[in-house]
Structure 1
């Protein structure tokens, strides 16, 4: 019986040792997959947001601007030129939007990009290269 008990103990020990090795290899592999490089362009989580404000204007008093970000990754911008002497003084544009680590990138229906960055609960318009104006 001692021989049989000894064999059972060896089998149980071998099974426990094998399971321990598999667990260690599994943990080691998991640590490698947890290292993630940040993406250059990342999507915002589904949401809907909007901003309103007045943009500077060279030949009018200002541009009343409303920007609406839709959950599906599209945007709509309405602009009304204050004190404009020519018609039409209101325009609408649309396109898709994405976010980098620090900027909101709007791409209009012609493929032209506009850049903004969050400043508190407001948006600050950036130049054509994405730098502060």
Structure 2
């Protein structure tokens, strides 16, 4: 009887070490182009495109919709730590979810409130 209980406990531990409820997150699963319109305090939206490339390089582009401002573009290295994506030179991180990235606040917490669902970049198919 003890062997059965220990076997169950061990199985549960192994299942929970993958870091995500969607299965083990690997860098190859993240590759692609993510797009979304993020909230903006003084414009219609921030049209955002994030490209994650196989060599751990990223390109991030912002366009401030409804403002006469040049597009912002940044490139660098990206890294994956458990279920969070970090971009070199960018202060905030993204939580990796199935088919999307959710921007976290500067303290690393999920953004709450009415606009929370707009802080999402969806993977383009």
> Alignment partner for residue 97 of structure 1, among 78, 82, 86?
78
TM-score (norm 1): 0.58
Alignment of 1:7-86 (within 5 A): 44-45=27-28, 48-84=31-67, 86=68
Give the greater-gyration-radius structure (CA): 1
Unaligned residue ranges in structure 2 (runs of 5+): 1-16, 18-24, 112-125
The aligned residue for residue 124 of structure 1 is 102
- CA separation of 1:100/1:47 partners in 2, compared to 1, >3 Å: closer, same or farther? closer
Instruction: Give the TM-score taking structure 2 as reference length.
Output: 0.61
Contiguous gaps of at least 5 residues in structure 1? 1-37
How many residue pairs get matched? Answer: 88
Q: Deviations over 1:37-78 (max 9, x none)?
A: x8xxx9724873210111111111111100001111110011
Q: Which has the higher helix share?
A: 1
Q: Please tell me the root mean square deviation across aligned C-alpha atoms, in Å.
A: 2.3
